[in-house]
Amino acid sequence: MMEINTPADMDKKYHKLILVTAPSGSGKTSIVKFLIRKFPVLAFSVSATTRKPRSNEKDGVDYYFISQESFEKKIHEKEFLEWEMVYEGKYYGTLKSEIERLWSEGRVPILDIDVQGAIHVQQHYPVNTMVVFVQAPSAEELRRRLESRGSETLESLEARVSKSAYEMTFKKHFDKVVINRDFDTACQEAAGLVEDFLAKP
Ligand code: 5GP
């Protein structure tokens, strides 16, 4: 859901922004981590979410893990650039303050975001935004990856697999597509896209 469109945002269109989007389980988070290690100017934009942290996740690093009440208060107070209920009952959102902080530090924010969120952010910042869509090789492979991650319940796994088929239909909205058949190759392809984008005036 798009939340802002004020004249004050107009000058921000000259700041660069990178969005990495994909169906869940396609490996985009690992690709984002690779890109951040490779390009020091990139900085991960930490989203807020109401889902529970996984065992390897840290608050303020992977997400700002907040309560539903606090998330809804931030929606009300228009603190989000965009937000979605990505999975049933779980909110995810990009904080305006996060993007602005990174821009003020001279960094290029990189967002790990679902396809609807990517479309909204792209509409909001159409000029200097690059969106990379990461495609998992097949539905079977996607299911296998989600299972091997071991962090999903049967219910949340099914929700992610069925949402992923729906999200694949959005591929046509994005002109930069990286197929994650082989992780290293996908990283190199994504790095090539980022390099070209950063080199643009
Ligand atoms: P996960 O629960 O696996 O960390 O993330 C689930 C989905 O939510 C992923 O597709 C991820 O990219 C997306 N996501 C993470 N942060 C945001 C956000 O701020 N906004 C939106 N719209 N989606 C997000």
Q: Given the CA of residue 47, which atom of ligand 1 is nearest to it?
A: 19
List, for residues 35-44, the tens digit of each pLDDT value: 999 999 999 9
Q: Is the pLDDT of residue 10 over 70?
A: no
Which residue's CA is minimally distant from atom 6 of ligand 1? Answer: 24
pLDDT at residue 7, rounded to an integer: 43
- Domain containing residue 80: CATH number: 3.40.50.300
Evaluate whether residue 4 is within a structural domain: no
Which range has the worst mean pLDDT, 65-69, 128-132, 174-178? Answer: 174-178
CB distance 1 to 123 below 8 Å: no
User: What confidence category does residue 145 fall into, taking pLDDT thresholds of 50, 70 and 90?
Assistant: confident
Evaluate whether residue 9 is within a structural domain: no
Write the DSSP symbol of residue 26.
S
Evaluate whether residue 64 is within a structural domain: yes
CB atoms within 10 A of CB 127: 10
Which residue's CA is minimally distant from atom 3 of ligand 1? Answer: 24
Range of the domain at 138: 16-199
Helix, strand or coil, per DSSP, at residue 164: helix
Helix, strand or coil, per DSSP, at residue 61: coil
Q: Given the CA of residue 118, which atom of ligand 1 is nearest to it?
A: 22
Mutate to test the pocket of ligand 1, among 92, 110, 149, 164 (most ligand atoms within 8 A of CB): 92
CA 113 to centroid of ligand 1, rounded, Å: 5
Q: Is the pLDDT of residue 176 over 80?
A: yes
Evaluate whether residue 117 is within a structural domain: yes
How far is 25 from 23, CA to CA, in rounded Å?
6
pTM of the model: 0.87
Q: Is the pLDDT of residue 6 over 70?
A: no
Evaluate whether residue 5 is within a structural domain: no
Count how many domains the chain has: 1
Evaluate whether residue 11 is within a structural domain: no
More confident residue, 5 or 146: 146
pLDDT at residue 1, rounded to an integer: 52
Ligand 1: residues with CB < 6 A are 24, 47, 51, 82, 84, 86, 92-94, 112-114, 117
Which range has the worst mean pLDDT, 6-10, 101-105, 125-129, 165-169? Answer: 6-10
Evaluate whether residue 167 is within a structural domain: yes
List, for residues 73-104, the tens digit of each pLDDT value: 999 999 999 999 987 789 999 999 999 999 99
Evaluate whether residue 27 is within a structural domain: yes
- How far lies 101's CA from each of 30, 150, 157, 174, 180, in Å? 24, 34, 34, 27, 31
State the SS3 of 107-144. CEEEEEECHHHHHHHHHHCCCCEEEEEEECCCHHHHHH
Which residue's CA is minimally distant from atom 24 of ligand 1? Answer: 113
CA 9 to centroid of ligand 1, rounded, Å: 24
